[in-house]
Amino acid sequence: MPTAKIAPSLLSGDFANLASECKRMLDLGADYLHMDVMDGHFVPNLTLGAPIIKSLRKHTDAFLDCHLMVSEPEKWVDDFAKAGASLFVFHIEATKDAGALIERVKAAGMLVGIAVKPGTPVESVFPYAADLDQVLIMTVEPGFGGQSFMANCMPKVRALRDRFPDLDIQVDGGLGLDTIDQAAAAGANVIVAGTAIFGAADPRAVISSLRQSVEAGGKGPASA
């Protein structure tokens, strides 16, 4: 099982103070900073883009996990590479040539991942998995934070983990203390959480509990 990584979603942070929010999350024990990039086309919401990533990079050396919920992700490879993105995750549903896009992202110097919407078969990423640094299984419909976790996506995680035991498998959507054990038991090791972390009275404890659940394979303190 790959290492547990906790990635707070800055979509739930204070956009007026993103640099300080990034530092706060790292100080609280986060491994990645998850950046939700939405274009108002592939998904109905509109959020941050490469210029904000570039600005944040001046203030942090953190791992910037950029999830592009955009149409034609090919257009944005160079911009995100120049901005300082660490990981470029695109949707399998948004590209006509995933193999070529993977090569482009790697050539630009970033790690690369593919994201899968709840209604998309996980088998769609199998042909590319050996070339990926991460697969993201969406556990809500992409576009907005605060949605409820979709447990029926867990067979996708399990199928990926069985077939690719060393792959980083990320889950995003509705993750919190009441749902983490299901995701961890299925084999997810990279956990995106927004509301559950930023809305908590003790976000450090939430990050720690999420990590312990993954390390225990879904039998962590969150289930107590």
Which has the closest alpha carbon to 31: 10, 12, 5, 56? Answer: 5
Tell whether residue 36 is among the known ligand binding residues: yes
Tell whether residue 9 is among the known ligand binding residues: yes
Torsion of CA 187, 31, 34, 50, to 10 degrees: -140
Tell whether residue 144 is among the known ligand binding residues: yes
Q: Under DSSP, is residue 72 helix (H, G, I), strand (E, B) or coil?
A: coil
Tell whether residue 195 is among the known ligand binding residues: yes
Phi, psi of 207 (to 5 degrees): -60, -45
Tell whether residue 143 is among the known ligand binding residues: yes
**Among 65, 168, 172, 181, the one annotated catalytic:** 172
Tell whether residue 145 is among the known ligand binding residues: yes
Q: In the annotation, is 31 catalytic?
A: no
Burial class of residue 100 (count of CB atoms within 10 Å of its CB; 0-12, 13-18, 19+): exposed
Q: In the annotation, is 79 catalytic?
A: no
* CB 33, CB 64: distance < 8 Å: yes
**Among 31, 36, 65, 133, the one annotated catalytic:** 36
Tell whether residue 13 is among the known ligand binding residues: no
Annotated binding-site ranges: 9, 34, 36, 67, 143-146, 172, 174, 194-195
Catalytic residue set? 36, 172
Annotated binding-site ranges for substrate: 9, 67, 143-146, 174, 194-195
Annotated binding-site ranges for a divalent metal cation: 34, 36, 67, 172
